Amino acid sequence: MNMKNTSYRRVLAGAAAVLFAAALPAFAQVDAGKSTVVATSKQMNVPVDGTFKKFNAQLTFDPAKPTAGSANLSIDTDSYDLGDPEYNKQVRGKEWFDSATFPKATFVSSAIAPAGGNQYKVTGKLTIKGKSQTVTVPVSITQQGATQTFDGSLPIKRTQYDIGSGEWKDTSVVADDVVIKFHIVAAKH
């Protein structure tokens, strides 16, 4: 049943992608090679960076009409790379991302507000491990030719998303505060 559901979704997603591509020529194409999403945790007060190797972003942003813009991010939780295969395997497990049950972490914007200069406040719903929170991210957006760059960082509390359950709830070892830093480069076509 699950498989059927998945393939059905794939067909739908494919159809949607074709429709979007046709309907929205201004849709920004994310340059995966130049874009990064890094989540930094603190273990015994040591900052530890992990990079999400796989994610998709759908961004529409026009500086002339910033409030009409939108951002959709979908991150593959099993692509979190801490630089050690053993740690990567563990972080995909039930206590952390539980990637088998929750393969994607998503951000869906609901409002974009200008905050002076090239600064914007993007409000939206962040969902990790099935837990959703409304967050507001300060983002700086720069445009060079057809390339748009979105930079920002979002501090979150990992326990709000049940990241690190069981004995890992102890925030004196792994701090509750985690910073998600992103640098997304997109080209308009």
Partner 1 sequence: MTSHASSQSASKPVRYSRTAIALHWLIALLMICGFYLGWIMTDIPGFTPTKLKYVSWHKWIGVTVFALAVLRVLWRATHQAPPMPVAMPTWQKAAAHATHALLYVLMLAIPISGYFFSSAAGVQVVYLGVLPLPTFIGPDQALKAILRTTHIALNYTLLVLFAMHVLAALKHQFVERDGLLARMIPFLK
Is position 168 an interface residue for partner 1 (rule: CB under 8 A)? yes
Q: How many residues bind partner 1 (CB under 8 A)?
A: 18
Task: Tell me whether residue 169 or residue 183 sits nearer to partner 1 (CB atom).
Answer: 169
Cα radius of gyration (the chain): 17
Backbone angles phi, psi at 6, to 5 degrees: -65, -45
Question: Exposure pattern of 76-104 as b/e (b: 16+ CB <10 Å)?
Answer: bbbbbbbeeeeebeebbeebbbbbeebeb
Which range binds partner 1 by CB under 8 A, 46-54, 60-68, 138-146, 155-163?
46-54
Residues 6+ away with beta carbon under 8 Å from 9: none
With CB under 8 A as the contact rule, the residue among 10, 49, 67, 146 that binds partner 1 is: 49
Q: For the CB of residue 173, give the shortest distance to partner 1 in the complex, in Å.
A: 4
Instruction: Tell me the C-alpha distance between 60 and 72, whole Å.
Output: 9
Task: Tell me whether residue 117 or residue 170 sits nearer to partner 1 (CB atom).
Answer: 170
Binding mask 60-99 for partner 1 (x = CB under 8 A): ----------------------xxx-xx--x---------
With CB under 8 A as the contact rule, the residue among 174, 178, 184, 186 that binds partner 1 is: 174
- Name the token pair of 184: 């997304």
Instruction: Tell me the C-alpha distance between 127 and 134, whole Å.
Output: 9
Residues 6+ away with beta carbon under 8 Å from 165: 94, 95
Which range binds partner 1 by CB under 8 A, 21-29, 126-134, 146-154, 170-178?
170-178
Site residues (vs partner 1, CB under 8 A): 43-49, 82-84, 86-87, 90, 167-168, 170, 173-174
